[in-house]
Amino acid sequence: MTINNQNQLNVLGEEIEICSCAPMTGWFRDGFCNYDKNDGGNHSICCVMDDNFLKYSKSQGNDLITPMPIYSFPGLKDGDHWCICLDRWKQALLDGLAPKVILESTNIVVLESVPLEKLKEYQFNKN
């Protein structure tokens, strides 16, 4: 556990779990979708990328597909786990393209704007 996720909980009220270390995600690039007041994008929701969402995000001006070595960003592909901007997920939800959510790795701060019941509708089934 890193110092950045001390006292950070997931939407289930439990200690937040790692979203992804390959590729390394999170505002702090520590694998967790931790909330930080300095993160203007609020990268607090852990999602499983799919091709439809990645294309959608790119069409909305946020290209998550193209690698950007200068930022050590490998580019994302179908199946990758990533902490995305909460507003992007909500926008994709309205447009019918929201990706699946890993509840155990999604920060409790998300519940301030998305009900748990709605998140559960998009819950990723790990089995």
Distance CA 23, CA 21 (A): 5
In a domain, residue 67? The reply is yes
In a domain, residue 101? The reply is yes
Which CATH number does the domain housing residue 106 bear?
Answer: 3.30.56.110
How far is the CA of 79 from the CAs of 46, 72, 112, 117, in angstroms?
12, 19, 27, 23
DSSP track, 71-120:
GTB----TT-EEEE-HHHHHHHHHTT-PPEE-GGGSBGGGGGTS-HHHHH
User: Structural domain tally of the chain?
Assistant: 1
pLDDT in tens, 5-47: 467 999 999 999 999 999 999 999 999 999 999 999 999 999 9
Q: Which domain holds residue 36?
A: 16-121
Q: Does pLDDT of 1 surpass 50?
A: no
